[in-house]
Amino acid sequence: MNILVTGGAGYVGSVLIPELLKKNHSVRVLDNLMYGGRGLIPSLLNKNFELIRGDVREKSAVEGALKGIDLIIHLAAIVGYPACKKNPDLARSVNCEATFLLEKTRDKNIPILFGSTGSNYGAVTSQVCTEETPLNPISLYGETKTKAEQHLMNSGNVICYRFATAFGASNRMRLDLLINDFVYQAVRNKNMTVYEKNFKRTFIHVQDMVRSFLFAIDNYSKLKDNVYNVGSEKMNYSKEEIALIVKKKVDYYLHFAEFGSDEDKRNYEVSYRKINALGFDISISMEDGIDELIKVSSLLDIHNEYSNV
């Protein structure tokens, strides 16, 4: 297939593109490279790979990028609550308006796979979120992703994946993700204070996110026009549990603060039965992912500009 990946130079895209190429798809990335393009370097030798450096909010860039395309994977976004809070107008225009533009410009026969998020659930009252749980986003990130998801679902010929919080290594590394940040602090700073230790969160390794997109391509007609939580019930952990798994493997000073709070207020568990029933499950455990991150953390030359655990 000829696949367009918007935001393909990002954390997820950098892991996804080589896997799509391995499956003999032709891949075109549309990305403005706001975090650089280092993640795409391993793909540049491949003749089936093309990069368009451009803005997904610009009609002419989107029209050009869509020429000859059979399927769209839409990842371009301002991602996470700190980045959206820092630049709210940009977040609204990229996360919502660019999604509306992409949908309007595509031929309706071209499917879209959309990287949505569990942040859409926001403040939940029920114990476990299923795809039917009402969306109640508490951050601008969740709000903009919810609007984009609802717009695409109303348009049809789409699969929306509400991902758990990603973790794991990528050539465009992100340290604003909870587990990546915890391991980095343990390895590099040798100490960490954790607020709201009992808050429950749900996680997925970035390589399993990639596998879920390959699964969607292979099973498109079965999954089409639906929303899925993508992750695993085995990967629902409290912040305390994560910090203690890291502590077993890294010698660092760990403090659980009684007062103070994390700006990321998410505290929820998610059911993944819907996608599991169709045959998708994760392959990388928390332990293995943390072992990988311990090795990666000592190699990194970046820091987390939003750190506030």
Q: Which residue ranges make up the site for ligand NAD (CB under 6 A)? A: 7, 9-13, 31-35, 55-57, 75-77, 79, 94, 115, 117, 145, 163, 165-166, 172, 174, 177
In three-state form (DSSP H/G/I as H, E/B as E, the rest C), the secondary structure along the chain is CEEEEECCCCHHHHHHHHHHHHCCCEEEEEECCECECHHHHHHCCCCCEEEEECCCCCHHHHHHHHCCCCEEEECCCCCCHHHHHHCHHHHHHHHHHHHHHHHHHCCCCCCEEEEEEHHHCCCCCCCEECCCCCCCCCCHHHHHHHHHHHHHHHHCCEEEEEECEEECCCCCCCCCCHHHHHHHHHHHHCEEEECCCCCEEEEEEHHHHHHHHHHHHHCHHHHCCEEEEECCHHHEEEHHHHHHHHHHHCCCEEEECCCCCCCCCCCCEECCHHHHHCCCCCCCCHHHHHHHHHHHHCCCCCCCCCCCC
Cβ-based nearer residue to ligand NAD, 57 or 249: 57
Cβ-based nearer residue to ligand NAD, 147 or 254: 147
Distance in Å, CB of 95 to ligand NAD, minimum: 7
Cβ-based nearer residue to ligand NAD, 8 or 252: 8
Cβ-based nearer residue to ligand NAD, 34 or 300: 34
Cβ-based nearer residue to ligand NAD, 55 or 225: 55
Distance in Å, CB of 69 to ligand NAD, minimum: 16
Distance in Å, CB of 57 to ligand NAD, minimum: 5
Cβ-based nearer residue to ligand NAD, 31 or 181: 31
Distance in Å, CB of 117 to ligand NAD, minimum: 4
Distance in Å, CB of 255 to ligand NAD, minimum: 26
Residue nearest to ligand NAD (CB): 10
In whole angstroms, what is the distance from residue 168 CA to residue 112 CA? 25
Distance in Å, CB of 294 to ligand NAD, minimum: 19
Distance in Å, CB of 185 to ligand NAD, minimum: 18
Q: Give bridge partners of residue 194 from the DSSP assignment.
A: 256
With CA atoms as reference, report the closest residue to 116 among 81, 85, 79.
79
Distance in Å, CB of 32 to ligand NAD, minimum: 4
Cβ-based nearer residue to ligand NAD, 30 or 254: 30
Cβ-based nearer residue to ligand NAD, 256 or 309: 309
In whole angstroms, what is the distance from residue 210 CA to residue 12 CA? 7
